[in-house]
Amino acid sequence: MNAPSERIQNMSTSATLAMAAKARELRNEGKDIIGLSLGEPDFNIPDFIKEAAKQAVDDNYRAYTPVDGYADLKQAISNKFQRDNHLTYTTHQIVVSTGAKQSLFNVAMVVLNPGDEVILPAPYWVSYSDIVKLAEGIPVEVPTSIATDFKMTPEQLEAAITPKTKMLWFSSPCNPSGSVYSKEELEGLAEVLKKYPEIIVVSDEIYEHINFKGGHNSIAGIDGMYDRTVTVNGVSKAFAMTGWRIGYIGAPAWIAKGCTKLQGQVTSGANAIAQRSVIAALEAPASKIQYMIDEFHQRRDLVLQLLGDIAGFKVNVPEGAFYVFPDISSFFGKELRGVTINNASDFALYLLEHASVATVTGEAFGSPNCIRISYAASEPELKEAIARIKAVV
C-alpha cells in the first residue's frame, strides 16, 4: 500500500551522501566525528563569483531561463571548451543543468533503451550505476585494481563489449581513485571503440582542474571520438560551488536536443542566479583558482605520507581529484578490537565507530577491496583523522 514504486525500492541510496548524513547525525549527538566521506571542496566560493551572483539579483534575473541555459552562458561554456580542451561545441550542443549529476541523468535517459549495456570501469563514481538502472540500462562493471592504477586497459574494454553495449562511462580525473588517463591511454581506448561506432562515450571531466600532473585530456579530442562523446563538466569542484548546482554538457546535437526536451518537462532549466554567476567563473583565468589546487596538492602529499605509515594500507598515488582510495583488503578476516572485518563496509563502519572518522566503502564504487578517503578537509583535521585511524588498526 504505502510503498514507493519498485523503481525507487530497487535503487540504492547514494553512499557518499548517506555517510555524510550519518556523520552529521553523530556530530549532532555530540560525537567528535571527522568527516572524510564527502567529496566537497572546503573552500568558500571566490569573491568574484559571489559578486556576479549579487549583481544578478540586483539586475532582476528572476524569471524562467531558457530550458538549456542562458545564451551568453552557453557561449561562455563554448569558449571554455575551446580554450581549455580545444573542443569546438556550438551553443546548440551545450545544455546547462542542475549539477553534473543531472547532466549525467539526462544523458542516460536520452541515449539508453531498456536492456542497453553501459560499461563502467570500476571503481566508478557511486551514482553512475543507479542512474543507468533508472534509465533501464544494465551496468557492466569492469574491475580494475591498484596494479593498473585503477585504469581500464584497451583489452579489458574490448572484452566487455557485447552487441548490447550502448555506452562507456568514466571519469578522469577519477572519483574515487584520483587516477588520470593520459592521452596515450585514451588513444588506446579510442582504438578499440573505432570498431564499435554505435557506442557512445560519457566522459565525466568535473575534476579537470584538480590535476596535479597538469595536462588534462578530453577523449572527445581524440581522432574519431568527437561525434560520439558527451563531455560532462560543472563548477562544483573547481570553483567550490557544490550547493549552487550547475553542470553542463558538450554533446552531439541530437543528444543535447534530447536533454533539453527532457529538462523542459522536469526542471524547466537551472537556477537563474547561479547561471549568471557561472559566466564569471568560466570567463576567469585558471590562475584565479590555482590556490585551491595547490592546497589540494599539498594535502594529497600529506595524506600519502601519513597513510604510507599504516601497515596494511596499500595506497595508490592519485594524480587528480581529492580522494585516495587505499586497498585495505589485508584486514579482511581479521579481528580488530573484537570486531571481525569481513569487507570494506565493515572496515569503514569500524573506522566510524572506533576512530570517529567517516570514509566511504569501496563497495559503493564497485571496488570492494578499498575505502575512499576524501582529503577535502583541513590539514589539522587530516592529521588528526589519520592518527586516529592508525591508532585503531
101 counts as binding ligand PMP under rule CB under 6 A: yes
Q: Residues 162-181: x/- map of binding to ligand PMP (CB under 6 A)?
A: ---------x---x------
Binding to ligand PMP in span 20-39, by CB under 6 A: 39
CA atoms of 310 and 307, how far apart (whole Å): 5
Binding piece for ligand PMP, criterion CB under 6 A, among 93-101, 208-216, 340-348, 371-379: 93-101
175 counts as binding ligand GLU under rule CB under 6 A: yes
Residue of the chain from 125, 170, 212, 347 that contacts ligand PMP (CB under 6 A): 125
Count of residues near ligand PMP by CB under 6 A: 13
Distance of closest approach, residue 41 Cβ to ligand PMP, in angstroms? 10
Distance of closest approach, residue 342 Cβ to ligand PMP, in angstroms? 28
129 counts as binding ligand GLU under rule CB under 6 A: no
Distance of closest approach, residue 262 Cβ to ligand GLU, in angstroms? 20
Binding piece for ligand PMP, criterion CB under 6 A, among 59-67, 99-107, 146-154, 383-391: 99-107
99 counts as binding ligand PMP under rule CB under 6 A: yes
Binding to ligand GLU in span 261-280, by CB under 6 A: none
Q: Pick between residue 126 and residue 190 the one whose CB is nearest to ligand GLU.
A: 126
Residue of the chain from 38, 219, 222, 256 that contacts ligand GLU (CB under 6 A): 38
336 counts as binding ligand GLU under rule CB under 6 A: no
Query: b vs e for 236-249, b when ≥16 Cβ sit within 10 Å of the residue's Cβ?
Result: bbbbbbbebbbbbb
Choose among ligand PMP, ligand GLU, none what residue 17 binds, the Cβ cut-off being 5 to 8 Å by kind. ligand GLU
Which residue ranges make up the site for ligand PMP (CB under 6 A)?
39, 99-101, 125, 171, 175, 204, 206, 234, 236, 242, 247
Which residue ranges make up the site for ligand GLU (CB under 6 A)?
14, 16-17, 38-40, 101, 126-127, 175
